[in-house]
Amino acid sequence: MTLFDLARKNAWRKPLRTVLLMVSIAVAFLIYGLTASFLAGTQGAAGASDDLLGVTSAGGRTQPLPMAAMSRIAADPGVAAVGYVTRLRGFVDVEKNVVAISAADPDLLMAVNGKGLGLTPALVGAIGQGRDRVLVGRALAEAQGWSVGQRATITAFDTPREDGSRDWRFEIAGIFEGESAATDTYFMIARYDYVNAARARGKDTVDAFVVLPRMGVSPGELAAGIDTLFANSATPTRTQSEKQFLEAFLRQYADVGLIVNLVVGAAFVTLLMIVVNTMVFAVRERTFEIGVLKTLGFSRLGIMALILGETLFVFAVGGGIGLALAKLATILAGPTLGLVFSAPVLAKALVIIAVLGLATGALPAFNAMRTPIIKAFRTR
């Protein structure tokens, strides 16, 4: 037997109570695991790069930039590669089935962010074989049930064709996987030359330039330099990293991270109160035995360690179960829902388990530690 075994056996003295505590902890950490995975995955911010820069109009993303700006950006000695992208939003069959299309030059996109998107020369070659060909991200392909060679029609919300139709027909040339599970692949890549030629308005403009800084060049300084370059032009720019861009984009709708943190925080505070209350009663029931342990020579710190060990054990088991369920959910539904149970999510969860385990044990441990032996013996 070890001191940990003693703490563990204490925890199991009332199995039903301990199981219920573990279930409530597991549920809280399941919620945490899923929401944190949602933040890390669906928002794509976790997989987005801090180094890759996006240049958009300072007037907002709805203001396009002229294609002519590209040569000025490319002339900056700090720029390794430049690509461009125009975004179309539309739907498949029903309006709530929203799909995003990034119209780009595939070769330039490959040079700028081919690794991040998981593009291969074979995929770029495949899209190059026809102007209406597209590459579809894995998450989008799975969600829509699309496969290579299939044709798909996207009805654009606000990008009509020259003939007045809003239906864009594409042939799926390949599926890109993304560099990691955290990479957003819920969109498709179309050829800019095809979209630009066919669209009714906004010709020869782009929504954003994508800039890859040279090795050793600070992305922040390069971003400032690009914005300075266009500061007095007709189209001033705002240059941000891909990560900042995505986070700012999502904040247009709501600060999802703040909402999620508030929900999870409320769950953990409730959990803290429940477990503290339960543990205070559980330890109070054992005051006499704590007196016996002290009589046998257990020090105040030893008693404290025993009770903290007990709450840590309960949190470790309950939290572990909750996180395992969250991981399972991300494996089963991750690609569809964009859930990514990443190493930082796990690390943060383990820290929370340790902090809550210690915090909930602190009050009962402190009470037990301070109780004089003689007073403890009077409780029987």
Partner 1 sequence: MTQTPAPYIALSGVRKAYRIGGEMMPIFAGLDLAIPRGDFVAVMGPSGSGKSTLLNMLAGIDRPDAGTLSIGTSRLDQMGEAARSAWRAHNMGIVFQFYNLLPMLTAAENVELPLLLKPLSRKERRMRVEKVLDLVGLSGREKQYPAMMSGGQQQRIGIARAIVSDPGLLLCDEPTGDLDRKSADEVLDMLRFLNRELEKTIVMVTHDPQAALYARRTLHLDKGDFVEEKRAA
Total residues at the site for partner 1 (CB under 8 A)? 25
Residue with tokens 């990008």: 159
362: Cα separation from own chain's centroid: 33
Decide whether 292 or 346 has the Cβ nearer to partner 1: 292
Instruction: Return the closest-CA partner of residue 47 out of 236, 184, 139.
Output: 184
Decide whether 1 or 215 has the Cβ nearer to partner 1: 1
Binding track over 77-116 against partner 1, x by CB under 8 A: ----------------------------------------
252 binds partner 1 (CB under 8 A): no
In whole angstroms, the minimum distance from the beta carbon of 313 to partner 1 comes to 14
What single-letter amino acid sits at 99?
V
Burial class of 325 by CB neighbour count within 10 A (0 to 12, 13 to 18, 19+):
middle
Q: How many residues does the chain have?
A: 380
**β partners of residue 133:** 171
Q: Please pick, from the candidates 199, 243, 294, 327, the single residue that binds partner 1 as defined by CB under 8 A.
A: 294
- From CA 123, how far away is CA 107, in angstroms rounded? 10
Residue with tokens 């703040």: 258
In whole angstroms, the minimum distance from the beta carbon of 255 to partner 1 comes to 48
> Which residues, including other chains, have CB under 8 Å from residue 46's CB and lie 6 or more apart?
39, 40, 182, 340, 342, 344
Decide whether 76 or 289 has the Cβ nearer to partner 1: 289
In whole angstroms, the minimum distance from the beta carbon of 372 to partner 1 comes to 8
In whole angstroms, the minimum distance from the beta carbon of 288 to partner 1 comes to 8
DSSP annotation of 199? B
1 binds partner 1 (CB under 8 A): yes
Quick count: other Cβ atoms within 10 Å of Cβ 310? 28
Quick count: other Cβ atoms within 10 Å of Cβ 71? 9
Structure tokens at 178: 């993304």
DSSP annotation of 6? H
Listed ranges 116-124, 129-137, 315-323, 366-374: which one lies at the site for partner 1 (CB under 8 A): 366-374
What single-letter amino acid sits at 364?
P
Listed ranges 28-36, 82-90, 170-178, 287-295: which one lies at the site for partner 1 (CB under 8 A): 287-295
In whole angstroms, the minimum distance from the beta carbon of 319 to partner 1 comes to 23
Beta-sheet pairing, 53-57 with 237-241: antiparallel
- From CA 15, how far away is CA 245, in angstroms rounded? 50
13 binds partner 1 (CB under 8 A): yes
Decide whether 4 or 249 has the Cβ nearer to partner 1: 4
Decide whether 91 or 298 has the Cβ nearer to partner 1: 298
Q: Please pick, from the candidates 65, 276, 293, 353, the single residue that binds partner 1 as defined by CB under 8 A.
A: 293
Q: Please pick, from the candidates 122, 163, 297, 343, the single residue that binds partner 1 as defined by CB under 8 A.
A: 297
378 binds partner 1 (CB under 8 A): no
In whole angstroms, the minimum distance from the beta carbon of 302 to partner 1 comes to 7
What single-letter amino acid sits at 336?
T
Q: Please pick, from the candidates 98, 302, 347, 378, the single residue that binds partner 1 as defined by CB under 8 A.
A: 302
289 binds partner 1 (CB under 8 A): yes
299 binds partner 1 (CB under 8 A): yes
366 binds partner 1 (CB under 8 A): no
Contact 308, 354 (CB under 8 A): no
What single-letter amino acid sits at 34?
L
16 binds partner 1 (CB under 8 A): no
Residue numbers at the binding site for partner 1 (CB under 8 A): 1-3, 5-6, 9-10, 12-13, 288-289, 292-300, 302, 372-374, 380
